[in-house]
Amino acid sequence: MRKARKKSNDNSIFPTNLEDLKRQLQTKFDHNSDLNYTIYQHQNQQLAVFYVTYLIDTNKVEASLLKPLLDSKQSWDNTKLLNQIPLSSGKKAKTMDDILKGILMGEVFIYIENEKEIVSYPLKKEEKRDLSKAETESLVLGPQVAFTESLATNMNLTRKGILSNDLVLEKIIVGEQSPKELRLAYLKSVANQDDINTMRQRLVELEVDEIEDSSVLIQLIEDSSSSIFPQFYETELPDRFSYSISKGRVGVLVENSPTGIIAPITLFSFLESTEDLYMRWNIGSFFRILRFIAMVISVLLTPMYVAVVTYHYEIIPMPLLITLGQSRANVPFPPIFEAMLLELLIELLREAGARLPTKVGQTMGIVGGVVVGTAAVQAGLTSNTLIILVTLSALASFTAPSYLMGTTIRVLRFPMIILGGVLGLIGIMFGICFLIIHLLKLTSLGRPYLSPVYPFNWQDLNKTLFRLPYNMQTKRFVSFRLRDLYRFDKDKARKKKDIDE
Amino acid sequence: MKNKLIMLLCFIPILLLSGCLETKPIERLAIINARGIDLLAEGLIDTTLVMFQFDTQSPDISKIASGSGKTIKEARYDANTKTSFTLTPGQIRLELYGKDVAEKGIISYLNTLVRDARTSDRVLLAITDSSAKEIITQGQQATNINVGLFMSGLIKQKIENDSIPKPELYDFTHAFFEKGQDPVLPLISSAEGTPALSSMAMFKDDVYVGKLSLDQAILINMFLKTIHSTPFDIGVDAKPLEKYLQNFLSGQDNETIQLNGKVIKGRTNTKIVDPKQLKFQTDVTIQMNLLELSRELDLANEEVTSTLEEQIEKQVKKQYEELLTQTQKMKADPFGYGEIYRINKNNGELKRDQWHELYPEIDVDYKVDVKIVEYGTIR
């Protein structure tokens, strides 16, 4: 920032006359007819007012800017302008670069001829949609509202979630060709300073032409780009975002992106839902464990089937062996091919369902699930046992609260099926070991991805694998070495207060 | 770059060498679930295999094949020449030995089961009354279902309610290698073609030496472990109970009263009283409930139950003593008294076959304690 200001001192284009300025601007806005450049005569002065029409709230320009400007009986200079125009946050600029940037950000510029600087007011007209329900992370309990594409709205929602002046929303601009505003959000009394510094450094030092979306930003600043696992959490729920920040994590909001980024996180964060907190602790724990089991099932069930049916007939229980054998007897393909075919079918259905409008999507589900499924069995293309297993593992993969993690789990299945079909249980074991080693090495913002399981910390287990009643959750996440570990007093939490009354 | 090369070198063999791995897709296998072993002349082994074969052409998946050879594996390969699917032994659940084989010793045939990692250690072993082939082929015709599953079902349900000692491969080899104990296996005979678990076979080492009844199997099992919810039948002398009989409720007039009940918990505790004289003392404690009586008794009366308990105790003691003398005649020890003897011996050593000579000499004092916990509603 400081560098930029120094530069501007050197390249000042003022003072200049209005025709010159117009010519200069028009060369920059070549073939762009939307720049409104008007010259007003006022008290023997020449004033130029210019802006891009569709970026500006024209009503405001007329009512709050042009009216006082032209109605006044005195002559203007920059200081008077800044003092007497009933608009806040006016500022001065000198260079062409600042002017161009300002115009694109939705500022209105006023130049009084022969002044040394130009004055601008942000009068941006923001196009935004209304707040709506969360789509990809929909909930039953708790706040339903989702982030929108507007950064101002998102910041508003975050502030509403954390009513504390400890909440910092640091402004960072990233993008050389099309600069975009980011906000680094954290609680300065709670969050670990190292985490904040690391995140800030990664954002500030990012040299990139533009950022399309927060998911792109994640990929740009992640710890390991070659990994299949997402290392930052991307959420569209303001309550999840503010909850994470209030528990000491660092968040990033990106202009024009309906999701917020949370870091550092662990693998288990992807299996947590805010709903677990809104439910009673025992039920919340049950669902959390269920999701964990679902993840294992989703990755391993079909590969296990393939491995066992191809190589290890001796471990199948006798009653299952008979039904399995009878259904396999009709299938002309080897198990690996059969499983790949069905998994591919499910993936096709999911992808088609996601691309089509909701009404058609539902029909797709019925056609795919019922008609194709039964027909495939009757035609002898697959065994009906496998249909059940594949459906089960597909269902299990959809239980992950994070859509990103769900896709990761589903994709992981394919190499596992190949390993199972090629090397049997040994192959699956190889795959599992590979995954575990990979996860052990993975970090999120420099913090271990598998904590609190590795490095083991028993105090954190009740925040990841299961949940305890609130009076026992007195601490925040220990593994992340927060500045303020305690949420409330442990002893006071245990005291019953309603007896004396 | 170097790392990537190493990774590549690791992955390529996985894909290329996978062709070397033998696949065993279940639809192309004939999965053996029971095997019968008999002896032919000239030292040839005759195996009869009950198997599942998943053939789309036929609705009947149970098949029987047989073959002969000098070893069990050779016999299987011989049988394979007569089947279109590959015979695989990984799912064997029951191994049957014909009477001829059992009388010569079966340990050499267990070798193949122990060595093969794919076969389970928990294969059930059993002896047949006639040849194993006969039982299997006739049984398949008579039962019309997979006879291998049928027979393992026969044995398993008895194991589940603790009526017979476990006849799994592991238990057999354990008892065999234990110097002071001999194994017991179920004996399957044919009842008009249908296989039935008729009695138990007593072994001396690995040689079949005599039959024991199924009632005696409970006594042996109670000695080896604590038994729970085991059906239990016993007949007691009617005379001491005469005065409590409610004659108007019970018709026939017999000298014994037949009881049927369930042992809730039955266990024994044995200690050696005098190692030199081979004197043992076994305490038997049985908690049972009564389900059926052949003649009606006024059980609400405490005197009656205590007399009844006494009579049962007497009867159990008698049965144990009978079992002891019977096995002593066979010189085979199903209980493992020899093991207790060996533990309490000075140097803790017992040579193979030594116990078989000592066992007929031992003297056991059985102290039985029966408690009737429940007797149900009475009229």
For residue range B89-111, list pLDDT tens digits in order.
Answer: 889 999 999 999 999 989 988 88
| pLDDT for res A8 | 43
Query: For residue B302, what pLDDT band results from cuts at 50, 70 and 90?
Result: confident
User: Residues B216-226: pLDDT tens digits?
Assistant: 999 999 999 99
Q: What is the pLDDT of residues A213-222, one digit of tens each?
A: 999 999 999 9
pLDDT value of position A105: 81
Q: How far is CA B274 from the centre of its chain?
A: 32
- At A290, the pLDDT band (50, 70, 90 cuts) reads very high
Q: Which of A64, A38, A58 is nearest to A49 (CA)?
A: A38
Convert the pLDDT of each residue in A397-438 to its tens digit.
Answer: 888 888 889 999 999 999 999 999 988 999 999 999 999 999
3-state secondary structure of A65: helix
> Contacts of residue A313 in chain B, CB cutoff 8 Å?
24, 26, 29, 31, 88, 90-91
Mean pLDDT within A224-228: 91
Q: Please tell me if residue B340 touches chain A, with a CB cutoff of 8 Å.
A: no
Contact B142, B111 (CB under 8 A): no
The number of C-beta contacts closer than 8 angstroms across A and B is: 67
- And the tokens for A224? 């390991």
Contact B361, B276 (CB under 8 A): no
Q: What is the pLDDT of residue A2?
A: 44
**Chain B touched by A311 (CB under 8 Å):** yes
Average pLDDT over residues A116-145: 85
Residue type, A230: P
Is residue B45 within 8 Å of residue A327, measured between CB atoms? no
Q: Is the pLDDT of residue A208 over 80?
A: yes
Beta strand segments in chain B, E = 29-39, 45-53, 62-69, 86-88, 94-97, 124-128, 184-191, 194-204, 207-212, 227-237, 256-274, 279-293, 363-374
Residue A9 pLDDT greater than 60, yes or no: no
Q: What is the pLDDT of residues A316-359, one digit of tens each?
A: 998 889 888 888 888 888 899 999 988 998 888 888 888 888 77
Cβ separation B56–A330 shorter than 8 A: yes
pLDDT class for B182, splitting at 50, 70, 90? very high
| Choice between A126 and A273, residue whose per-residue pLDDT is larger | A273
pLDDT of residue A1: 40
pLDDT(B269) > 90: yes
A325: chain B residues, CB-CB within 8 Å: 26-27, 31, 52, 54, 61
CB of B57 within 8 Å of a chain A CB? The answer is no
Which residues of B fall within a CB distance of 8 Å from A312? 24
Query: Could you tell me if B33 lies within 8 Å of chain A, comparing CB atoms?
Result: yes
Q: How far, in Å, CA of A14 to CA of A40, rounded?
A: 19
- Between B67 and B243, the more confident residue is B67
Report the percent of chain A where pLDDT is more than 70. 97
Q: How confident is the model at residue A259 (pLDDT cuts 50, 70, 90)?
A: very high
Of A310, A314, A322, the CB nearest to B23: A310
Interface contact A325-B91, CB threshold 8 A: no
* Cα-trace Rg, chain B: 26
Q: Which of B14, B52, B56 sits opposite A322 (nearest CB)?
A: B52
* Beta pairing class for A107-112 and A118-122: antiparallel
**Distance (Å, rounded) from C-alpha A395 to C-alpha A298?**
8
CATH top-level class of B220-374: alpha beta
pLDDT score of A41? 85
A325 and chain B in contact, CB less than 8 A? yes
* A30 at interface of B, judged by CB pairs closer than 8 A: no
Provide mean pLDDT across the span A51-78. 84
Higher confidence at residue B329 or residue A366?
B329
Q: Would you state the pLDDT for residue B18?
A: 67
| Interchain CB distance below 8 Å, A325 and B54 | yes
Q: Does A46 score more than 90 pLDDT?
A: no
Chain centre to alpha carbon of residue B134: 21
Chain B residues in contact with A316 (beta carbon < 8 A)? 26, 91
Q: How do residues B157-166 score in pLDDT, each as one tens digit?
A: 999 989 999 9
Lowest pLDDT segment from A284-288, A367-371, B118-122: A367-371
Residue A309 at interface with chain B, using a CB cutoff of 8 Å: yes
The ipTM assigned to this model is: 0.82
Q: Residue B377 pLDDT > 50, yes or no?
A: yes
Q: How confident is the model at residue A4 (pLDDT cuts 50, 70, 90)?
A: very low
Higher pLDDT, A184 or B302: A184
Q: What is the pLDDT of residues B22-75, one digit of tens each?
A: 888 888 889 999 999 999 888 899 999 999 988 888 888 888 999 999 988 899
Interface test with B, best of A314, A316, A417, A433 (most B CBs within 10 A): A314
Q: Identify the pLDDT of residue A495.
A: 80
Question: How far apart, in whole angstroms, are the C-alpha atoms of residue A175 and residue A179?
Answer: 4
As a whole number of angstroms, the distance between CA B62 and CA A149 comes to: 66
CB-based contacts of B280: which residues, under 8 Å, 6+ apart?
A: B270, B271, B272, B273, B337, B340, B362, B363, B364, B365
pLDDT tens by residue, A436-469 = 999 999 999 999 999 899 889 988 888 888 888 8
Q: Find, among B181, B203, B44, B214, the residue nearest to B125 by Cα.
A: B203
**pLDDT tier for residue B252 given thresholds of 50, 70 and 90:** low
Give the mean pLDDT of chain A: 87
- DSSP per-residue letters across A278-335: HS-HHHHHHHHHHHHHHHHHHHHHHHHHHHHHHT-GGGS-HHHHHHHHHHHHT--S-H
Please give, rounded to a whole number of angstroms, the shortest distance from the CA of B89 to a CA of chain A.
8
Check pLDDT > 80 for residue A498. no
User: Which residue from B minimizes the CA distance to A308?
Assistant: B25
Question: How large is the average pLDDT for residues A478-487?
Answer: 88
Q: What is the pLDDT of residues A145-176, one digit of tens each?
A: 999 999 989 999 999 999 998 999 999 999 88
Mean pLDDT of B272-290: 91
Tens of pLDDT, residues A103-116: 888 888 888 887 88
- Domain ranges in chain B? 23-212, 220-374
